[in-house]
Amino acid sequence: MTFKVTILGSSAALPVRGRHHSAHALNVHEQFYLVDCGEGTQTRLGECGINPMRLNAVFITHLHGDHLYGLFPLISTLSLLGRKTPLELFAPAPLGELLESMYVMLGDTPAFEVHFHPVDTRQNMMIYENKVMEVWTVPLRHRVPAAGYIFREKRPPRNVRKDMIDSYGLDISQIVAVKRGEDLVLDDGRTIPNDQLSYIPYEPRSYAYCSDTMASGKVASLVEGVDLLYHEATFAAADKALASQTGHSTTVQAAEVARKAGAKRLLIGHFSGRYKDTGELVSEARAVFPDTEEATEGSTFEIAPKRNL
């Protein structure tokens, strides 16, 4: 039931010592996903103990180099390592043309299939689904078309209460029906509601990645109640005008989005290289949203399951 995020890179346009370009690795039930792929991401995966061959899908927010330039060498490396499993790739539409051009210019088509899925950055919609998770797009406000992503764990199967199994002498077929959410009808005609017989073992978890973007009330509404929100905070509060000019957010604006969304925790990063003391940036955000942490490189943030029994 793993649900955790590892920070591979969290710098803005210019990398600085100790801060690489944007990339997060998400582990959901031991299935791995990459969100953004800045320069050096494949190296950072290895340094953080994550095997790139285990990646199921890559999600790119927008086509700026600090979120993208690590993708092409990553694909090349996976090919050299002998990957055969297709890789799902989600990004704004022009990336598909860029990939095809790269294959032609370099004469280097991967040994595995890259299934490209164009993302409509204007829509909030589900773009990926498997047995345990859904991925939804979050329209962002940046200088170029951009979409964030929210990863929502599906509700786990219901557990049947052992005392109810004993009390009513449930057989296998009845247990299976209760796990499906059905009520129990007894031989004497009584109906036992399902919520008396079973329970959801833990609450579904969620993680949202919002970068690059200006602060937006629409973003706050779309990520409402998220367990872990990563929101860019490129600039300090004093540089609000510069944030607006460049399509970015300040520390305080990121914190306000988290507060409006009712997020459980906030991660901030994508700091401009002009700031050497990131602790001051975190302090600014915490003044508005106390449960704020820095997206420190190499750190892993786990969302523990909230158990119901």
Query: pLDDT tens-digit profile of 247-292?
Result: 999 999 999 999 999 999 999 999 999 998 899 999 999 999 999 9
Q: Could you give the residue numbers annotated as active site?
A: 66
pTM score: 0.92
Task: Supply the pLDDT for residue 309.
Answer: 66
Tell me, rounded to whole angstroms, the distance of Cα 219 from its chain centroid. Answer: 14
pLDDT in tens, 173-206: 888 888 888 888 888 878 888 888 888 888 999 9
**Domain with residues 3-156+200-302, CATH architecture:** 4-Layer Sandwich (3.60)
- The domain ranges of the chain are 3-156+200-302, 159-198
